[in-house]
Amino acid sequence: MPTNAFARTNAAKLVALPQYLVGDLLSRVVPRRPGRWVVGSAFGVHDGARALVVEALSRADAPRVTWLARTDGEARDARALGAVALRHGSWRAFWAALRAGVVVVTHGFGDASRFGSRGAVLVNLWHGSPLKRMHLDSPAALQLPVVGGWGPARELTRRMYRRGTSRISLLPASSPEVAPRLQSAFGLADGRVQVLGEPRTDVLFAGSAEDRRLAARARLEAAVGPLGDRTVVLFAPTWRDGRADPVVPDPDERTALADWLRAHDAVLVVRPHPLGVGDYVADGDTVRLLTAAAEPELMAVLWAADVLVTDYSSAVVDFAVTGGPVVFFAPDVEDYARRHGLYEPYEVTSGGRVERSWSQVLHRLDAVLAPGSARDVARAHSAALVERHHEHRDGRSAARVVDRVLELEQGVRAAAGNAHQVLPPTARREADDELRGLVFFESFNGRNASCNPAAIDRELAARAPQVERIWSVVDETVVVPSGARAVVVGTPEHSRARDAADLLVVNDWIEDAWRPRRDQFVLQTWHGTPLKRIALGRRDLSPRAMAAVVKQSTRWSAMLAQGPAAASVLRRAYAVARPLWVEGYPRNDVVARSRSGTDPVVREELGIRTPHVVLYAPTWRDGALAAPVLLDVAAFAAGLGPDWTVLVRGHARTMAERESALGERVLDVTRYPDVSPLLATADVLVTDYSSVMFDFSASGRPMVFFVPDQEEYRTRTRGFYWDLGARAPGPLVESTEQCVEAVLGAAGAQDRWAQRYAAWRAEFNPLDDGGAARRTVDRLVAAGALRRR
């Protein structure tokens, strides 16, 4: 019997038995620390482990996560998530695993530490809903490279497996149909396998079908090159344990395949198993290789494919979520079922249709890609696969798994106390004294020094004044923070400063062709949680514009999000492959701190003498809405009476024509350098679709929504990510008179809106608590974005 990869792996485990015994002994005497997680993944910082860590670190009481990395790049990616990175296999990694309360893996214990995980809450995320038999259920997985004596050898291997898998505390399953397979394959007792959904598949269910397809298409093009409007055929064969792969096309089949693809204006995207990449050949046009190195997360691009060709890969049940047809190509099904084993007859999985050659595959593709009964039947079969294999379709599987892990930790945490502590101020100051380097800030492409970059600048300047701070400005009239230096866009000094920076903090697009060095860290803070559709979410986006969006996000090392809802939207809108930091918005620290009262400093600066202030801050309409539809601010101020001052914060494109007719007790603050102090000053906010609605709610004060064009804006102008009417924590009004009435009655109506207001803050800005700038700088320091002395 041939020696395969399973046999070699099993032999290595036997050789390592003494190390397992030492680790077992140490785990009995070294105490574990609740609140500390160690994570290892055979995929790197991707897939299910990444989704779980992002969710865990978004929690208010986040664990301290240590990622065991095999490469420098993986270590950088882990630090960018907010995790500590240690070299996999090192003594420090072993010690971290030995002390951790939770150990997370995606394949086997070797992802983290084979010898230091006993006694931890051990979570195996696995990496797919199995169609082929695994571990204890598969004869192929129980081999050893010896001659003869297969019965005793297999029994020894079986005992090793059972002893090892008995450590698993939790293995999430995608559905009640899949759970028994995992329970049997791993030999787990009842309760260890739970139908919580797979964190790796959350991306398949996030947003609308149109959003998913646009984001996936952009991400696929970033990996394999432009696709245009061509049909995408995704070919995802499984690995055959090192044996010859019968689905690799021979030269004649490659010629026929290329002819078919050209005739149908199609592209074949081949996703080979990482161990089988060398079996496949790309031709640069009609056949593209989608390697794991080019795109580690297959889930992120499945929605880009029009049809899937596969054999026994679990990708079939994930691709089925898209509703697309599947062509089952398995010329060796009888041999594979005998040698490796399948959990159900292949006729059930495939719906009774199996192709045996590439010529049959091409004929079947003709049928399922054309309108007609064959396509309808194939799509219905995909829908049936989803029903059987995906119990949860809400995109919150990672959240459920984190909840369950925290429950498993609870007993230990209660006994040992919360081990995850923020550094005390003295320790943080000592660490910050070590920081050195150059930080390059840019806000709204240099038009001012405001927003999240300005708040991060203030925090960094207070904590590490020895760090050099440079601001990008459009001209010398832009005022930059004290202690910082300004450089004008387009000058040689600007180019030199940006190229030399260790860290860049920006809140908008990088407008030129500049790209960062590999060792530079670019934090994209963005400038608001979007209600209206942006970037890849826009209906009118051209292929060229889509490519520009994806090109932007490839320059960012991490992106800051105000809350989980914003993180979900921004990831889709910009096809963000890098970490999303959910820390609240630093610019809103001043707003959150104003909950006890409005800001008297801004009132004095603006010369406000009335007891009450209302801020009117509409968004702009892409040039499509005439001015008369906007609020009549002069009539609005007159209606409110002498106790009110109206601050008007308009977009430059919509407010210029109104400056001469603003009226009494109306101040145009459009050119005030930063909106956050204005939000901290206002007693009431009036807005329409501007992201300031999410910022102002950090104050806890009333909001009124002036939306006379809501239906047009929703259906024709931009469209929304959320139903404003269903969520708004204040009244929606459509006339100046109604707006006056709503503002005057806002204080007395707060109890009416209290429940919605609380739900709004929980959904959109739960972390706007006054400490977002501190947390963001903490993460930048932990990510190694600044040099140390």
List the CATH number of the domain containing 351. Answer: 3.40.50.12580
Answer whether residue 404 is part of any domain. Answer: no
Q: What is the pLDDT of residue 46?
A: 93
- 400-409, 474-483, 718-727: which range is least confident on average? 718-727
Answer whether residue 344 is part of any domain. Answer: yes
Distance, in Å, from the CA atom of 556 to the CA atom of 654, rounded to the nearest integer, reads 31
pLDDT in tens, 262-284: 999 999 999 987 666 666 777 77
Q: Are residues 569 and 629 in the same domain?
A: no
- 307: closest CA among 373, 212, 236? 236
- Strand order through the sheet with 558-561: 485-488, 468-473, 438-442, 503-506, 521-524, 558-561, 580-582
Average pLDDT over residues 732-751: 93
Q: What is the pLDDT of residue 317?
A: 95
- For the entire predicted model, the pTM comes to 0.56
Q: What is the pLDDT of residue 427?
A: 46
Domain count across the chain: 4
Kindly tell me the burial class for residue 160, based on how many C-beta atoms sit within 10 Å of its own C-beta (0-12, 13-18, 19 or more). Answer: middle
Answer whether residue 394 is part of any domain. Answer: no
Distance, in Å, from the CA atom of 789 to the CA atom of 787, rounded to the nearest integer, reads 7
For 28, 161, 494, 523, the CA distances from 25, given in Å and listed in that order, are 5, 19, 59, 44
- 189 or 475: which leads in pLDDT: 475
Q: Are residues 594 and 562 in the same domain?
A: no
Helix axis angle for 750-764 and 564-573, nearest 10°, is: 50
Q: Please report, in angstroms and rounded to a whole number, the separation of the first and last CA atoms in the chain.
A: 58
Q: Are residues 323 and 374 in the same domain?
A: yes
Distance, in Å, from the CA atom of 444 to the CA atom of 127, rounded to the nearest integer, reads 41
Q: Are residues 576 and 459 in the same domain?
A: yes
CA 701 to chain centre: 31
Q: Which amino acid makes up residue 435? A: L
Q: Are residues 224 and 82 in the same domain?
A: no
pLDDT in tens, 499-556: 999 999 999 999 888 999 988 999 999 999 988 888 888 877 788 888 888 888 889 9
CA angle 749, 754, 756 (to 5 degrees): 115
Domain range for residue 374?
207-389
Question: Taking 50 as the threshold, does the pLDDT of residue 412 lie above it?
Answer: no
CB 381 within 8 A of CB 351: yes
What are the strands, taking DSSP E only, across 346-425? none
Average pLDDT over residues 743-769: 89
CB 652 within 8 A of CB 658: no
- Tell me the three state secondary structure of residue 690: coil
Q: What is the pLDDT of residue 542?
A: 83
Residue 27 has φ and ψ, to the nearest 5°, of: -65, -20
Strand-pair category, 121-124 with 231-236: unpaired
Find the CATH number of the domain harbouring 495. Answer: 3.40.50.11820
Question: Taking 50 as the threshold, does the pLDDT of residue 731 lie above it?
Answer: yes
Question: Taking 70 as the threshold, does the pLDDT of residue 4 lie above it?
Answer: no
How confident is residue 719, by pLDDT bands cut at 50, 70 and 90? confident
- 429 or 658: which leads in pLDDT: 429
Q: State the DSSP H helix or E strand holding residue 581, giving kind and residue range, or none if neither.
A: strand 580-582
Q: Are residues 329 and 453 in the same domain?
A: no
Helices (H), 511-588: 543-553, 564-573
Q: Are residues 569 and 621 in the same domain?
A: no
